[in-house]
Amino acid sequence: MSNEKHEKLINLIADMEEDEALALTQELIDEGAEPTAILEICRAAMDIVGQRFEDNEYFVPELILAGEVLDQMSAMVKPLIADTTDEDEKVDSGTVLIGTVHGDLHDIGKNIVTFMLDVNGYNVIDLGIDVSPQAFIDAIKEKSPEIVGLSGFLTLAFDSMKETVEAISEAGLREEVKIMIGGGQVDEQILNYTGADSFGLNAMSAVNQCKEWIGEAA
């Protein structure tokens, strides 16, 4: 994929040029672009949209529209990734519980990670958006996952991530799960603030971290 088209697509998504963005996505697919590279473009564009929202340049309608465009792009790309995954290789790699934390209604990043985990053989339990700490706790007790993924797109989600990690600890479940955070502007500082075990910069880094953790537990 040419870098020029890569940049153009990021900007088309970030600028809400829906029809042009979808047309260029199809063009890249037809040219044989790596599906995961297109998903990475989705993530990069969403970072820009999120920053504009934080800066009060964009508001909720723009977030919803951007999410819809990215959902459509994901739907175009996902069958290509699924086609490259050998069903015989899809062993049960472990259980991952994932959800967008309380106060955040964005699911595009979570959905991409969920999909990539699924095609890599993980049993993924998706709790959806605006998930309370108690809902995470109840699901951990019921489903016994090895890994919990906390997704959050806006900076307000960082407090919810911290509250969720603390609630899991207070429920006596912290030693039973590894906790990963992801979405938006997550970095080492935010990781330390929330008390989670790791953060995923993108869907593939999240998958690789899960593989590492499950491998250690095996």
Per-residue pLDDT of the chain (218 residues; tens, 9 = 90+): 468 999 999 999 999 999 999 999 999 999 999 988 888 888 788 888 888 987 899 987 888 888 889 889 988 988 888 776 555 444 567 999 999 999 998 887 898 888 889 878 899 999 999 999 999 999 999 999 999 999 998 888 999 999 999 999 999 999 999 999 998 778 999 999 999 999 998 888 899 999 999 887 65
**CA–CA separation, 103 vs 19, rounded Å?**
30
Percentage of the chain lying above the pLDDT 70 cut? 94
Cβ atoms within 10 Å of 205's Cβ, excluding its own = 15
CATH T-level assignment (fold) for domain 90-217: Rossmann fold (3.40.50)
For residue 186, CA distances in Å to 94, 119, 181 come to: 25, 24, 8
pLDDT of 217 reads 66
CATH 3.40.50.280 maps onto the chain at: 90-217
CATH 1.10.1240.10 maps onto the chain at: 3-83
**CA–CA separation, 189 vs 166, rounded Å?**
17
pTM score, two decimals? 0.77
First to last CA, the chain: 38
- Digit-coded pLDDT (tens) for 91-150: 567 999 999 999 998 887 898 888 889 878 899 999 999 999 999 999 999 999 999 999
For residue 162, CA distances in Å to 24, 167, 208 come to: 39, 9, 23
Phi/psi at 202 (5° precision): -155, 180
**CA–CA separation, 50 vs 67, rounded Å?**
11
Does domain 3-83 fall under CATH 3.40.50.720? My reply is no
**CA–CA separation, 182 vs 46, rounded Å?**
13
